[in-house]
């Protein structure tokens, strides 16, 4: 694989992405909301105490929170819910970019001239995938850094410790990119079969279902995932992504694009 070709594809992808206002709004607005939302919610919820039964359930799963005051525990429980939202960015942003990019090229019929050059399909796929993956992952990371910076000002040391503990670091910096990868794979597979980016995003949106399920489990304190849990999920998502990538590469084959993509 030739790096300069991948870079060329990457530059063109990004130069088109920044000209797409709809796409840019879906990339930029949610991170801003996510950076501020948890802070506001934790502030409100932190004023109240959790019901006793919930306290028992939460502390059983997170013994490291046992020494928190009632308000700290309520704030920690509330803010912990938002970790999964930081996984949504690497999930939906790459999906949006990949589907817009691939289906956009299908609709404009721009792929054939590109495939008529000496480019290898792996290079084209790599360029497109990286172009889709990086903004989503970076958005997740940057939002987290902004969130943590604000948290260091707004929260007390207990809550600041919660949002910078191992579960958050593994979730944001390891599980996030793997979720992003799975999102790109879903985008490639779905985009090869449909001709409308919105349909592709709806179909590809299935990738978000496990994240929503995780949110529900955490919000009821049925399951509060720790660092080991997020790491395990990252390994599982990564393996699933590699399996999906094989299918994606087959669908992204030069002949398949020219003769089967409709």
Partner 1 sequence: MTVPDPVMIRATGLGRRFDALWAVRDMDLEVFRGEVLGLLGPNGAGKTTTVRLLTALIAPSEGRATVDGLDVTEYPELVRSRVGILTETPGLYDKLSATANLDFFGRLYGLDASTRAARIEHFLRLFSLWERRNDVAGTFSKGMKQKLAIARALLHEPAVVFLDEPTAALDPEAAFVVREAIETLRRSGRTIVLATHNLDEADRLCDRVAFVRGGLVRVDSPAGLRGSLGGHGVEVGLTGVPSPAVLEAARVVPGVADVEIAGDRLIVMTAEPRVVTPGLVRALVEAGAAITEVRERATTLEQVYFEVMGVRPDHDEAA
**Which of 105/165 has CB closer to partner 1?**
105
Binding mask 99-138 for partner 1 (x = CB under 8 A): ---------xxxxxxxxxxxxx------------------
Range in contact with partner 1 (rule: CB under 8 A) among 10-18, 75-83, 176-184, 204-212: 10-18
Task: Count the site residues for partner 1 by CB under 8 A.
Answer: 25
Q: Is 258 in the site for partner 1 (CB under 8 A)?
A: yes
**Which of 62/106 has CB closer to partner 1?**
106
Range in contact with partner 1 (rule: CB under 8 A) among 3-11, 59-67, 159-167, 188-196: 3-11
Binding mask 225-254 for partner 1 (x = CB under 8 A): -----------------------------x
**Which of 73/98 has CB closer to partner 1?**
98
Q: Are 90 and 176 in contact (CB under 8 A)?
A: yes
CB of 134 to partner 1, least distance (A): 19
CB atoms inside a 10 Å sphere around CB 110: 12
Measured CA to CA, the distance from residue 36 to residue 13 in angstroms comes to: 30
Angle separating helix axes 21-45 and 3-17, nearest 10 degrees: 80
CB of 108 to partner 1, least distance (A): 7
**Which of 4/53 has CB closer to partner 1?**
4
Paired tokens of 260? 């089967």
Paired tokens of 139? 């958005």
**Which of 8/164 has CB closer to partner 1?**
8
Any residues with CB less than 8 A from the CB of 63 and at least 6 apart, and which? none
**Among 53, 153, 255, 262, interactor with partner 1 by CB under 8 A:** 255
Measured CA to CA, the distance from residue 207 to residue 56 in angstroms comes to: 32
Q: Is 20 in the site for partner 1 (CB under 8 A)?
A: yes
**Which of 20/219 has CB closer to partner 1?**
20
Q: Which of 173, 149, 148, 150 lies closest to 231 in space, CA to CA?
A: 173
Measured CA to CA, the distance from residue 126 to residue 149 in angstroms comes to: 33
**Among 5, 55, 58, 132, interactor with partner 1 by CB under 8 A:** 5
Range in contact with partner 1 (rule: CB under 8 A) among 4-12, 133-141, 151-159, 172-180: 4-12
Measured CA to CA, the distance from residue 150 to residue 78 in angstroms comes to: 16
Please give the DSSP secondary-structure letter assigned to residue 48. S
Q: Are 9 and 122 in contact (CB under 8 A)?
A: no
CA distances in angstroms from 27 to 73, 89, 105, listed in the order given? 32, 8, 20
**Residues from 144 through 173 that contact partner 1 (CB under 8 A):** none
Measured CA to CA, the distance from residue 223 to residue 217 in angstroms comes to: 5
> Can you say whether residue 109 is alpha, beta or left, with left for phi > 0 and alpha for psi between -120 and 50 degrees?
left
Binding site residues, partner 1, CB under 8 A: 4-5, 8, 12, 15-16, 19-20, 108-120, 254-255, 258-259
């Amino acid at each position: 694989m030739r790096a300069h070709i991948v870079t060329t594809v990457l530059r063109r992808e990004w130069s088109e992405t920044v000209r797409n206002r709809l796409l840019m709004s879906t990339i930029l607005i949610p991170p801003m909301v996510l950076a501020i939302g948890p802070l506001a919610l934790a502030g409100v919820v932190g004023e109240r105490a959790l019901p006793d039964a919930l306290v028992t359930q939460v502390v059983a799963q997170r013994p490291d929170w046992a020494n928190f005051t009632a308000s700290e525990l309520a704030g920690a429980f509330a803010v912990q819910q938002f970790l999964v939202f930081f996984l949504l960015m690497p999930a939906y942003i790459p999906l949006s970019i990949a589907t817009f990019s691939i289906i956009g090229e299908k609709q404009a019929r721009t792929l054939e001239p590109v495939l008529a050059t000496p480019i290898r399909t792996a290079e084209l796929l790599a360029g497109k995938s990286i172009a889709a993956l990086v903004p989503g992952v970076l958005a997740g990371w940057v939002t987290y850094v902004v969130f943590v910076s604000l948290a260091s000002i707004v929260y007390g040391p207990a809550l600041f410790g919660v949002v910078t503990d191992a579960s958050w670091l593994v979730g944001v910096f390891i599980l996030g990119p793997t979720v992003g990868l799975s999102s790109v794979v879903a985008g490639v597979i779905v985009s090869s079969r449909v001709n409308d980016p919105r349909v592709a995003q709806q179909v590809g949106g299935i990738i978000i279902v496990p994240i929503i399920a995780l949110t529900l489990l955490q919000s009821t304190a049925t399951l509060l995932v720790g660092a080991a849990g997020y790491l395990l999920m990252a390994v599982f998502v990564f393996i699933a992504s590699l399996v999906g990538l094989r299918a994606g590469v087959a669908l992204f084959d030069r002949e398949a694009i020219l003769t089967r993509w409709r």
